Amino acid sequence: MQEDGFWNDLDKANKANQELSNLKKDISLYKKINVDLKSLQEIIPILDNDNSLLDEVILNLKKLDNDIKELEINTLLSGEYDSLNCFLEIHPGAGGTEANDWAGMLLRMYERFCEKNNYKYEIIDYQKGEEAGVKSATLKISGYYPYGYFKGENGVHRLVRISPFDANKRRHTSFASVSVIPEFEKVGDIEIKENDLKIDVFHSSGAGGQSVNTSDSAVRITHLPSKIVVSCQVERSQLLNKMRAIEMLKSKLYQLELEKKNEELNKVKGIVSSINFGSQIRNYVLEPYTLVKDLRSGYETSQAFKVLDGEILEIIKSVLKGC
């Protein structure tokens, strides 16, 4: 970072700066644990003669235990792509308004999680549902090991609740799929032929606010050979949206190439065959009781509404430990 011209390539500089930030956080936590451990080792023998410090020692032991658990999670983020930024896509399953609303609830959940845990997110694509929720949404997430933390969200999420759209107040089950893709850095060799692309331009939409672009600058690209579809509407310029969509497409194509070369790399992105009953990774039950249960790690909590408000860190950690 001290080299001349380091900041001339802003993208490269930002990635290096993020890597430095991640390393500093890991090292700082490791040093803190060592200091706290030595301090406790010095104090505990004194308790034989003076137990006035007992409450303070118990409190510090609990803090140390939490720090060690966090360090344990950090050691699990050693995958080849864990440090990369990621794209998180949400698509509703069958069910119209119900499923669209559920997809919108998931989008809000991830936005709240990012805000509470110092992750930066950018809405790359947002297709509003006709009555409620979203038809599709894509976030670009950056921060501390984004793909490492979010990769466990990949799969089908199932909601059970009393429908707010049902006049008879019946219980409904809705599904939505979440797809998490690393923002690969080695996509320069991916060649995309113009003839293989179907490019549509459409009216931009958004969740609201002054920053929403309302011109015909949004771009949707379909890669005909692979049937992959990407969209971008975050930029004011149609050209910039196209460029960003192409980068997302390259990441997806690069991922497919890796999966073809080595089946082991299917762990990078789970394959979602269908968005329906029996294929889910996590259940969110709001009626007749409240329960969120991850079907891979077995983690469960009755605080369903807190989870939907973004408090999913413990669930994410449980999935990381189970991998």
Q: What is the pLDDT of residues 62-84, one digit of tens each?
A: 999 999 988 888 888 888 889 99
CB distance 281 to 176 below 8 Å: no
Name the domain boundary from 43, 76, 109.
Answer: 76
**Residue 122 sits in the same domain as residue 215:** yes
Tell how strand 86-92 and strand 134-142 pair up.
Answer: antiparallel
Q: Is residue 155 part of a domain?
A: yes
**Residue 236 sits in the same domain as residue 288:** yes
- Which 3 state secondary structure label does DSSP give 247? helix
**Residue 156 sits in the same domain as residue 274:** yes
Name the domain boundary from 55, 76, 97.
Answer: 76
- Give me the CATH number covering residue 261: 3.30.70.1660
Q: Rounded CA gap, 66 and 41, in Å?
A: 17
What does 146-193 look like in DSSP terms, one character per residue? HHHHHGGG-EEEEEEEE-TT-TT--EEEEEEEEEEEE--S--TT----
Q: Rounded CA gap, 207 and 138, in Å?
A: 12
Q: Above 80 in pLDDT, residue 273?
A: no
What per-residue confidence (pLDDT) applies to 290?
A: 96
For residue 65, the enclosing domain spans 6-76
CB distance 203 to 128 below 8 Å: no
Tell how strand 155-162 and strand 280-285 pair up.
Answer: parallel
Of residues 76 and 260, more confidently modeled: 76
**Residue 196 sits in the same domain as residue 118:** yes
| Mean per-residue pLDDT over the chain, rounded | 86
Q: Is residue 147 part of a domain?
A: yes
Indicate the pTM of the whole model. Answer: 0.79
**Residue 70 sits in the same domain as residue 91:** no
Q: Is residue 12 part of a domain?
A: yes
Percent of the chain at pLDDT > 70 equals 89
Q: Is residue 254 part of a domain?
A: yes
- Residue 191: how many other CB atoms lie within 10 Å: 8
Q: What is the pLDDT of residues 14-54, one digit of tens each?
A: 888 888 888 898 899 999 999 999 999 888 888 877 778 88
**Residue 64 sits in the same domain as residue 106:** no
**Residue 166 sits in the same domain as residue 44:** no
What per-residue confidence (pLDDT) applies to 190?
A: 80
Instruction: State the Cα angle at 163 between 157 and 165, rounded to 5°.
Output: 120
Q: Is residue 69 part of a domain?
A: yes
User: pLDDT class for 166, splitting at 50, 70, 90?
Assistant: confident
Q: Above 60 in pLDDT, residue 271?
A: no
What per-residue confidence (pLDDT) applies to 117?
A: 95
CB distance 232 to 246 below 8 Å: no
Q: Is residue 81 part of a domain?
A: no
Phi–psi pair at 213, nearest 5 degrees:
-85, 125
Q: Nearest Cα to 250, choosing from 301, 182, 190, 164?
A: 190
**Residue 192 sits in the same domain as residue 65:** no
What is the average pLDDT across 250-264? Answer: 75
**Residue 127 sits in the same domain as residue 156:** yes
CB distance 254 to 186 below 8 Å: yes
User: pLDDT class for 205, splitting at 50, 70, 90?
Assistant: low
What per-residue confidence (pLDDT) applies to 206?
A: 59
Give the H/E segment covering residue 91. Answer: strand 86-92
Name the domain boundary from 29, 45, 76.
Answer: 76
CB burial class (10 A; 0-12, 13-18, 19+) of residue 221? buried
What per-residue confidence (pLDDT) applies to 56?
A: 86
Q: Nearest Cα to 158, choosing from 184, 135, 181, 176?
A: 176
**Residue 121 sits in the same domain as residue 246:** yes
**Residue 21 sits in the same domain as residue 146:** no
Number of domains in the chain: 2
User: pLDDT class for 108, splitting at 50, 70, 90?
Assistant: very high
Q: Above 80 in pLDDT, residue 263?
A: no
Q: Is residue 1 part of a domain?
A: no
Q: Is residue 57 part of a domain?
A: yes
Beta bridge partners of 177: 91, 156
**Residue 263 sits in the same domain as residue 296:** yes
